[in-house]
Amino acid sequence: MNSFLTTEQQESYREKGCFFPLSLFSPIEAIEHRRRLEEIEGQYGPMHYRTKPYLLMTSANEIARLPELLDIVESLLGHDILLWDSAYVIKEPQNTKFVSWHQDLTYWGLDSDDLVTVWVALSPATEGSGCMKMLPGSHRNGKKSHRDTHEKENILHRGQELEMSIDEEQVVSVELKPGEASLHHGWIAHASYPNLSNDRRVGLSLQYISPRVMQMHTDKEFATLVRGEDLYNNFSPEPICNFDFDPEMVAFQAKMQKLKHEVYETQ
């Protein structure tokens, strides 16, 4: 049984720049993935915003390669798919951390928007826990100006935020149950507010691209082919995570994190 998006779902995504909820796996499976994540954190420290956790953790690697998830991505990008980036985005309970309104592709250095972000909930993502907020349709006008705030409570690398007013009446809250996912376009304006609940808000963000996409600011980028073929070779292939925190993978992931931050600083 496949999980490809229907024509209506694809049209809704292209019109709004986001789509949710999509069921990927059961709440019990979500609890198990969260348990594995938190066990890793107990041994190796926080995983929040650590670049490409699928290089370090079998759990993240398994989620990123779920056939049901790749069917969904194929509906939007075609059969050939690269896993380009990922991060756990974790908000601790009763915390003031937030994500300001921004557009992802402003800072990623890519030459195309042939990309989709899948955000997978491992705990309840609600308004109270600081779920994502989206401004539907805002992707259709492309890049908007941003400014760096370096606000200490802002989760983003430079505290970047859009220099435009947001009509809160048009904003939608991306509420998800554990095991559900959302999709969003690289140009959609989105944000998230503090987690005022008594539980962690835990999500795994995954960025998939077409092999046609190129990185404009370095020729050293890496990605993982997860479906189809790569006929372009714009990204070097990544090694595969076979067990948690393999020392060789830890060293490789550290290089990838350094490279990502170098690209962010050039934008």
Whether 202 maps to a domain, the answer reads yes
CA distance 211 to 124: 33
Task: For tokens 């309970």, name the residue.
Answer: 93
**Share of residues in the chain with pLDDT > 70 (%):** 97
Where is average pLDDT lowest: 8-12, 66-70, 136-140, 262-266? 262-266
In 3D, which of 106, 123, 133, 262 has the Cα closest to residue 201? 123
CA distance 52 to 57: 9
For residue 2, tell me if it sits in a domain: no
CATH at residue 222 = 2.60.120.620
Q: What share of the chain is helix, strand, coil (3-state, %, to 5)?
A: 30, 25, 45
pLDDT tens digit string along 32-60?
999 999 999 999 999 999 999 999 999 99
Is there a domain that residue 132 lies in? yes
Tokens 């350094």 sit at which residue? 258
Question: How far is residue 183's CA from residue 205's CA, in Å, rounded to a whole number?
Answer: 10
Domain span at residue 125 reads 7-266
Gap between the Cα atoms of 255 and 267, Å rounded: 19
User: Does residue 93 belong to any structural domain of this protein?
Assistant: yes
Q: Give the number of domains in the chain.
A: 1
**Residue 117 near residue 79, CB atoms below 8 Å:** no
Mean pLDDT confidence for 96-110: 90
Taking only the tens place, the pLDDT of each residue in 157-179 is 666 787 778 889 999 999 999 99
Task: Give the pLDDT of residue 153.
Answer: 84
Other CB atoms closer than 10 Å to residue 221's CB: what's the count?
21
Per DSSP, which regions of the chain are E strands?
18-23, 81-91, 99-102, 115-121, 132-134, 146-148, 160-162, 172-174, 180-184, 190-192, 201-209, 222-227, 236-237
Q: Is residue 1 part of a domain?
A: no
List the one residue out of 66, 81, 54, 82 whose CA is nearest residue 223.
82
Tokens describing residue 195: 């987690």
Distance, in Å, from the CA atom of 202 to the CA atom of 82, rounded to the nearest integer, reads 24
**Phi/psi of residue 163, each to 5°?**
-95, 60
Amino acid at 31: I
Position 209 scores a pLDDT of 98
Indicate whether 154 belongs to any domain. yes
Angle (CA) 92-173-169 rounded to 5° is 130
Structural tokens at position 10: 């694809």
Q: Can you tell me the distance from the alpha carbon of 9 to that of 29, in angstroms, rounded to the nearest whole number?
A: 25
pTM metric for this prediction: 0.95
Question: Which residues, in sequence order, are CB contacts of 44 under 8 Å at separation 6+?
Answer: 245
Query: Alpha helix locations (H) across the chain?
Result: 7-16, 27-44, 58-64, 67-77, 247-266
Report the pLDDT value the prediction gives residue 157, as an integer from 0 to 100. Answer: 67
